[in-house]
Amino acid sequence: MSENENNNEIAHEDSNELILQRHENMRKLVNEGIDPFTGDSFTGIQSIDFVKANFVDGASSRIAGRIMAQRLMGKTIFLDLKDFSGRMQLYVKKDFIGEKGFNIFKIFDIGDIIGVDGTLFKTHSGEVTVLVKEFKFLSKSLHPLPEKWHGLKDVEVRYRERYTDLIVNDTTRDIFKKRIKIIQSIRNYLNDKSFLEVETPMMHSIAGGAAGKPFKTHHETLDMALFLRIAPEIYLKKLLVGGFEKIYEINRSFRNEGISTRHNPEFTMIEIYEAYSDCEGMMRLTEDMIRTVARLTIGTEVFEYQGRTIDLTHWKRVSFRDLMKQNFDINVEDPMEMWADKLKKNGVDVPSGKLSKTQLVKIIGDLVEPKEETHPVFVVDMFKEISPLAKEKKDEPGITARFELFMGGMEIANAYSELNDPIDQKKRFIEQVKEDPDARIDDDFIHALEYGMPPAGGLGIGIDRLTMILTNAPSIREVILFPQLRG
């Protein structure tokens, strides 16, 4: 047996002994007349952070949480209690709660959940503490917390057992608090600008609205194939046709593709549409909204992300058309069949055989995305061939009014002046079908456009990736509560 296997075996045996001890302590609680999993409530509590922020010496306090530390000192016990907001020290004295109550406290385990009533005071070191007068046992922890016997260091275990990760890792908890605040700040920003939040279907009869491989499902009653949405774009544009002029949806979308530090099959994004706006309007909204959200959630517009400085006070633009010409000698008028050949001539490893448009777009996207910039970068002047839903610039054939936003070396957002010409849109759908035999023309969307859609700007922002940037998280799994993992 290797040293590592031997250590794992010892850790497993130690954990089993601790679990058995906790079951024994549970039996002791039952013998004392205490239900270890009481269904009773413990209402009227205050958060620990609130109590600390509003400290008054001698004031009554009622808090609840999980025991995180215990220190027995003769006729007194010190405990650390943790709720969602923070930690608080408890001071348990036999003279105040009686011998029976004191003995019950002695059989509590780290991880148990209790509620206490008491009075506030500060120790000699200035720590706010609750002198416990009464208590109520609320729930028994039958497993030792990870830090007690092997530590929660394995990344896979942290993601798979997110509940324990949240208990013992304050950094993880802080990331998700910030994620919640980021989403709230985005909502407040848009609501203040008179945008309306809407909800659209998550099951689509046609997989569309973005490039990506869909998840397939089947509706039994209707006996029809359906797809989990790749993006909500088509439905949101139908709402523009219907007269909803400023709308957004914070949505869950799904793509049946790879898993990496930047990709999860199920992800969150926001799509925003504004009638009578355009790509430039979306660019201004994107910059102002992200800067506002950063100030509200992390308190600054200049911060560190994975060893580099991100400065939101200055935003740059680079031309996709210029990047393609300079790096690969690909011109806007070149047919897509030539792209692979020119990429190969410029030393790019391109798979053999005929490449789909989606494959080419992915290869080129990886090559041209700004990876080292400290400022946010708008990549503009995108080719029409890779922008089937974007409006073409009138004075620049083959170039669309579209941008992709990059921060910290990642694509964060995509936006364009929306194509509202049903004739042109149908032609582009037909070209897509020629390229991809699995693609289908969305006739209902064309029908909607034929009623007239106002000129509009549309924007999509990846919430997970934006959260990564603003919390300095190296992987998308760090900002998704329950990321997809292998079985």
The CATH number that applies at residue 66 is: 2.40.50.140
pLDDT 10s per residue in the chain (487 long)? 444 444 444 445 567 898 999 999 999 999 999 999 976 789 999 999 999 999 999 999 999 999 999 999 989 999 999 999 999 999 999 999 999 999 999 999 999 999 999 999 999 999 999 999 999 999 999 999 886 444 456 777 888 889 999 999 999 999 999 999 999 999 999 999 999 999 999 998 887 766 778 889 999 999 999 999 999 999 999 999 999 999 999 999 999 887 888 889 999 999 999 999 999 999 999 999 999 999 999 999 999 999 999 999 999 999 999 988 988 898 988 887 788 888 888 888 777 766 666 666 777 777 777 777 789 999 999 988 888 788 999 889 999 999 999 999 899 999 999 999 999 999 888 887 777 767 778 899 999 999 999 999 999 999 999 999 999 999 999 999 999 888 7
Q: What is the CATH number of the domain that holds 253?
A: 3.30.930.10
Q: Give the H or E element holding residue 137.
A: strand 128-139
Are residue 128 and residue 255 in the same domain, yes or no? no
Q: Do 470 and 385 reside in the same domain of the chain?
A: yes
Beta-carbon neighbour count of residue 278 at 10 Å? 18
For residues 478 and 472, what is the distance between their CA atoms, to the nearest angstrom? 10
CA distances for 283 relative to 222, 316, 403, 437, 461, angstroms: 42, 11, 8, 34, 12
φ and ψ at residue 275, rounded to 5 degrees: -65, 145
Classified as helix, coil or strand, 219 is strand
**H/E element, 92:** strand 87-93
**In contact, 324 and 344? CB cutoff 8 Å:** no
CB 357 within 8 A of CB 336: yes
DSSP 400: E
Of 104, 123, 151, which residue constitutes the final position of a domain? 151
Q: Judge if 190 and 146 occupy the same domain.
A: no
pLDDT of 364:
72
**What does the DSSP 8-state code read for residue 146?**
G
In the chain, the number of structural domains is 2
Q: Would you report the helix, strand and coil content of the chain in percent, each value rounded to 5?
A: 35, 25, 35
Which residues, in sequence order, are CB contacts of 43 under 8 Å at separation 6+? Answer: none
From 119, 151, 183, the end of a domain falls on 151
60 and 174 share one domain: no
Cβ atoms 58, 23 nearer than 8 A? no
In a domain, residue 185? The reply is: yes
Q: Are residues 275 and 238 in the same domain?
A: yes
Same domain, 146 and 174: no
Residues 195 and 333 reside in one and the same domain: yes
Q: Which residues contact 170 (CB under 8 A, 6 or more apart)?
A: none
Q: What is the pLDDT of residue 40?
A: 78
The model's pTM: 0.89
291 and 356 assigned to the same domain: yes
Residues 116 and 177 in one domain: no
* Contact of 349 with 366, CB cutoff 8 Å: no
Q: Is 301 annotated as a binding residue?
A: no
Q: How far apart are CA 286 and CA 459, in angstroms?
A: 8
User: Which region, left, alpha or beta, applies to residue 16 given φ > 0 means left and ψ of -120 to 50 means alpha?
Assistant: alpha
In a domain, 158, yes or no: no
Do 57 and 126 lie in one domain? The reply is yes
- Contact predicate 92/130, CB 8 Å: no
How far the first Cα of the chain sits from its last, in Å, is: 27
- DSSP characters over 223-269: TEEEEE-S-SHHHHHHHHHTT--EEEEEEEEE--S--SSS--SEEEE
Residue range of the domain that includes 278: 168-478
Same domain, 214 and 358: yes
Would 59 be classed as within a structural domain? yes
Was 127 annotated as part of a binding site?
A: no
Which residues are CB-contacts of 14 (< 8 A; sequence separation ≥ 6)?
149
d(CA 80, CA 67): 6
Last residue of a domain, one of 105, 121, 151: 151
| Residue 251: CA count within 13 A, CB half-sphere | 25
- Tell whether 389 and 256 lie within a shared domain: yes
DSSP class per residue in 406-457:
EETTEEEEEEEEBP--HHHHHHHHHHHHHH-TT----HHHHHHHTT----EE
Q: State the pLDDT at residue 14.
A: 62
Which residue from 146, 156, 168 is spatially nearest to 477, judged by alpha carbons? 156
